[in-house]
Structure 1
Amino acid sequence: MTHRPTGAAPLGRRAFLRTAAAAGIGVSGAGGLLSACTSSDSGSADNAVRNTAVKLPAYVPWRGVAPDYPGTAQGLLNGFARYPANPARTIAAPPAHGGSISAFVETGSPIPPGMKSNPYWQVLNQRVGAKLDLTIVPAADLSTKFATLMAGGDLPDFMVPPLPPLAGVRGLPQFLAAKCQDLTPFLSGDAVKEYPYLANITTDAWRACVFDGGIYGLPVSRGVAGSLMFYRADLFEQFGVNPAPTSYAEFRTLCKDVTDAKKSRWALVTPGSAMAFVAQMLGVPNGWKAEGGKLTNAFEDERYKQTLSEVRQMVKAGVIHPDGFDPAAPWKQWFNAGNGLMGEDRYTAWPQYYADNVVGPSFRVGGMRPPVFDGGGFAGTWQSPPVNNFTPLKKASTSRIKELLAVANWLAAPFGTEEYLFRKFGVLGVDYTMDNNNPTPTQAGLTQTVLGVRYIVDAPDTIFVPGDPEATKACWDYQKSIIPTSVKDPTVALFSETYSRTGAVLAQHVADAANDILTGRKSLSSWDSAVAQWRSAGGDRIRAEFERQLH
């Protein structure tokens, strides 16, 4: 489980990923946390069998509103041109019964005002039926704070862990088994139907919560479209540039044509954007490639080495922003200001760019598909996992767990309901305004509503750019074009203890080696040594742990 949304400020380990991305180390570069166990042999086949045997919650999709642009079972999300008129409140009574409910959550936004000075928080308490005691942790501090939480004895009701391995969490599966609630009796199979909005979450998302033969958390589901190459469609049209190159050679020419350093304009915001795009053109695996029960990592593929070579030449050609290697580079601002015309980002950033744009109504973005390197159609894009994170609950009595699940059900109310509109946008006239069924946050809404409750559990994601049906349709059309041929990471449902404990160090090693090559500090041949070191320092152990779980 390796992706975080980018619809707000950078989240979680994003600071590290920007460093890695500068070297082209994609966020899909080495498996994920979607299934786990508590034994010392965390990559065992026995545990994989036990996890596979778990009966996941029944999937009962909510049909309350019809999308303008319907999704598919393959992972294309539903799209909505506007928020449905007169949305109904679908849960009449508050789900909780008074008292307080505690939660440890993260935020990538500035910490919001406290409860006493936050009107939205106060109304949220009323709607939930309990005082929400939220520990809101800046994303950069999540790993350290969660490790302290694990070591202590006073756990909150809900807790959002950082994502291994890059956060460096150790012993998470053991912690879950010892301190957290096995939700299998409450949610497995038809039992989830007691909570219809939890039943509205897809089966693939629930797999993120299976550990040691049980369901140990609630998923925050996301679409599988992954990251994409955004481009400034308005400027491409202005410059008369074709946004659909048919080969790498055409893409290189495009990059040269739109770059004008004297006008502070470059084709690409970061080297990482180029790395991901060219790697997909060449067919580099999405993290790992599985054949005959054996795994090969993307770093070991000769095509990854070729990607480094090609992007090194692009750096030399000056088509990438010269400050793009800086992990703190404000590349989103460059993109919005037109200083960089292309950049890789999560699909969830589509509405963010429109909300943040400094151009006005003429601003347009699009998604560029990677062509096959030598021509002959489009290459497959890399899928992301179907979840953003999962949230375990601390052990409690049956009645308490049912109350917490009722609250979670309320938090998962889907797009089209009044509950969703309130949870995402707040109080009408205070936190947002409504124009033609399109909610627009006020400044108060932007600062008060970012409480992190969306990381406890969330409704299935949708495609919706408030106030811009054309942009919504463009995002939906892009996803429709790429999902049928998108490529999964075969390790996305597996867990490696070695990866969880050492992944951050290993990934940083490879990122540094790639950066040295891209900047010209080292030769391309140094990559072979870097990969050999990666293998001996833990890469081969990670591979073995994953391979024991392949089936």
Structure 2
Amino acid sequence: MSVNRRLFLTGALATAVAGCSSGTTSNPTQTVSGINLPTYTPYPGVQPDLKGNAQGLLDAFLKYPDPPVKAVNAPPMNGGSVSAFVLTSSPVPPAVDQNPYWQELNRRLGTDLRLTIVPNADMATKFATLVAGDDLPDLIVPALYTPNGLPAGVANLPAWMASKCQDLTPFLSGDAVKEYPFLANLPTSAWKDCRYNGGIYGLPVARGVGGSLMFRRDDLLAEFGVNPNPGSFAEFRDLCKTVSGPGRWALSQAPTDFISQMLGLPFRWKDEGGSLKSRYEYEEFKQALSDAAQLVQQGAVHPDSFTNNAPVKKWFNAGTTVLITDRYTAWPQFYAENIAGPGFAISGMRPPKYDGGGFAATWQAQATNNFTVMKKSEPGRVRELLRLCNWLAAPFGTEEYLFRKYGVAGVHYVMKDGGPQQTQAGVTQTVLGVRYIVDSPDVIFIPGNPNATRQSYEYQASIIPTAVADPTLSLFSDTWSRKQGQLGTIINDAQNDILSGRKPVSTWDDVVKQWRSTGGDQVRKEFEEAMRTQ
């Protein structure tokens, strides 16, 4: 279940990964209490330059440790093969017989890693075929949440997991995880999204809670002489007007989420004394839609932003747009793809309170990007696969991480200014999708650019103390697992109609009624039940 994070910004999937978790009383096999999650044991072998904290601020590294720490002494496997179903948003890499990186990975793992690498666009079809064939690989990066809900062949997610997937609780619960020290190094918050049927049914790919932000081109804003930190919505609107002109637009997308934060709205749900209220049900959300629509009509938003797969990052890097909403993980990508030269500079814009008077709270993100399940196997085989996954989770700063992420020095990357810079061979060969099987804890690191790394760290340090977590994170709703695509389409289509001027804001009340009757109210009920039992 690799989730396109851009969909989080528009509401089309609205945090699909929240379903990979605990349950509701409407599904009696789902329980939360009594699960002894893996004992968190931080890896002591590498120390960051800028320390994170328990609130969710990530560790930051100004350069890659030199020499890197050698974390293991032998391959985790002793021959044989391991099959895995993985997803990718990159072009599919060369096959193993034409891919020196893949061959070297197999050598270091001590096994023949047989990957089925599936582009995100083909996820639903390929996973449905996998389920229908009932011949599951050893490791499955689940495509359990598609734009249309659960894939064909999975009528009930918890039941499918219990029937086909390995319960990892005996191997990972409590101190048992210490047999796999790099898995023990994963934060507890990430494991919460792997709870099913009263047990641990997955291995998480952890991510920071910093979530999405409004990136800004500081180099371009400086040329315009505008304040990069607007103090209210009115000042933000004026900034957008000032920087927009022929061939340039302030915004890569309509800033509905950013304005929602200014207005104090929740990302998805707000807990009002045990009862949940959706962001879409607040009167203030109509204000956010109205303001965003006006920015579109005034020419502050790129006119092609409503098309599917719009190249919003390319616009931002080219300076065609000055502001873009994206996940914090895009920070190093923007620098890697920079075409503006050494003067290129970006940072994050904090949302001001709508009428001024300080900064508004941002939204915390899910602690996991996705998780991987294991097909049912005998205990010896489970331990073998966990040893392999432990190797894949070797942390930043280790020799193993450096190879896993960047490949072989001199072939797939070169070190420059304390950071690995990928060669073309590195770009094409290393994107095997293994980082979506399991990964080490995320860190802040922009290769070869310590100043940008520090800026990213300082931005996260500024927003995380007040960031608000959605009350349904790590909770399960059966209706949401089946109808999230349908519900998201109702919201997304209606928003686009209003933002593009095809319909007035006054139509929003009817949209909310449709959303509620189609399943929104049932989702609310199931999440409220889950909140009471967690």
**Bucket of the pairwise TM-score, normalised by the shorter protein:** over 0.9
2:359 aligned to which of 370, 378, 386: 378
Provide the residue aligned with 1:7 in structure 2. Answer: none
Provide the residue aligned with 1:223 in structure 2. Answer: 208
Partner deviation per Cα, 1:414-468 (whole Å, 9 max, x = no partner): 0011000000000011000012431110000000000000000000000000000
Provide the residue aligned with 2:21 in structure 1. Answer: 35
The aligned amino acid for 1:243 is: P
- Whether 1:401 and 2:401 are equivalent positions in the alignment is no
Rounded to whole Å, the distance in 1 between the matches of 2:17 and 2:338 is 34
Number of residue pairs the alignment of both structures matches: 528
Alignment of 1:5-84 (within 5 A): 12-13=3-4, 17=7, 21=9, 24-25=10-11, 28=14, 32-36=18-22, 42-44=24-26, 50-84=31-65
Partner deviation per Cα, 1:207-251 (whole Å, 9 max, x = no partner): 111001000010000000000000001111122111111100000
Provide the residue aligned with 2:515 in structure 1. Answer: 534
Rounded to whole Å, the distance in 2 between the matches of 1:269 and 1:74 is 30
- Whether 1:328 and 2:309 are equivalent positions in the alignment is yes
Alignment of 1:494-505 (within 5 A): 494-505=475-486
Provide the residue aligned with 2:241 in structure 1. Answer: 256
- Shift of residue 14, structure 1, vs aligned partner: 5.7
- Whether 1:123 and 2:104 are equivalent positions in the alignment is yes
Rounded to whole Å, the distance in 2 between the matches of 1:168 and 1:224 is 25
Q: 1:165 to 1:293 in 2, by over 3 A?
A: farther
The aligned amino acid for 1:306 is: Q
The aligned amino acid for 1:297 is: S
- Shift of residue 104, structure 1, vs aligned partner: 0.1
- Whether 1:550 and 2:525 are equivalent positions in the alignment is no
Rounded to whole Å, the distance in 1 between the matches of 2:442 and 2:304 is 34
Alignment of 1:302-313 (within 5 A): 302-313=283-294
Provide the residue aligned with 2:472 in structure 1. Answer: 491
SS of match in other structure, 2:86: strand
Which aligned segments of 4 or more residues in structure 1 are displaced greater than 6 angstroms? none
- Whether 1:247 and 2:228 are equivalent positions in the alignment is no
Partner deviation per Cα, 1:255-303 (whole Å, 9 max, x = no partner): 011111x2x11100111xx111101000111210012211111111111
Question: What is the percent sequence identity of the aligned residues?
Answer: 57
- Does the 8 Å CA contact 2:46/2:69 hold for their aligned counterparts? no
Provide the residue aligned with 2:250 in structure 1. Answer: 267
Root-mean-square deviation over aligned CA pairs: 1.6
Name whichever of 310-319 and 532-541 sits farther off: 310-319
Rounded to whole Å, the distance in 2 between the matches of 1:167 and 1:404 is 32
Rounded to whole Å, the distance in 2 between the matches of 1:47 and 1:368 is 44
Partner deviation per Cα, 1:46-105 (whole Å, 9 max, x = no partner): 556x32210000000012122111001000000000000111321111101101000000
Rounded to whole Å, the distance in 2 between the matches of 1:288 and 1:29 is 12
1:447 aligned to which of 384, 407, 428: 428
- Does the 8 Å CA contact 1:165/1:501 hold for their aligned counterparts? no
- Does the 8 Å CA contact 1:465/1:471 hold for their aligned counterparts? yes
Alignment of 1:114-513 (within 5 A): 114-162=95-143, 164=145, 166=147, 168-169=149-150, 170=154, 171-260=156-245, 262=246, 264-271=247-254, 274-513=255-494
Q: 1:475 to 1:387 in 2, by over 3 A?
A: same
TM-score, normalised via structure 1 length: 0.93
- Shift of residue 145, structure 1, vs aligned partner: 1.1
- Shift of residue 111, structure 1, vs aligned partner: 0.3
Rounded to whole Å, the distance in 1 between the matches of 2:15 and 2:138 is 33
Rounded to whole Å, the distance in 2 between the matches of 1:297 and 1:31 is 18
SS of match in other structure, 2:329: helix
- Does the 8 Å CA contact 2:347/2:456 hold for their aligned counterparts? yes
- Whether 1:102 and 2:86 are equivalent positions in the alignment is no
Q: 1:436 to 1:314 in 2, by over 3 A?
A: closer
The aligned amino acid for 2:161 is: L
TM-score, normalised via structure 2 length: 0.96
Rounded to whole Å, the distance in 2 between the matches of 1:31 and 1:542 is 15
| 5+ residue gaps, structure 1 | 5-11
Q: 1:103 to 1:29 in 2, by over 3 A?
A: closer
Q: 1:163 to 1:76 in 2, by over 3 A?
A: farther
Partner deviation per Cα, 1:18-66 (whole Å, 9 max, x = no partner): xx85xx43764788224145xxxx5538556x32210000000012122
Rounded to whole Å, the distance in 1 between the matches of 2:372 and 2:38 is 16
The aligned amino acid for 2:502 is: R
| 5+ residue gaps, structure 2 | none
- Does the 8 Å CA contact 2:148/2:482 hold for their aligned counterparts? no
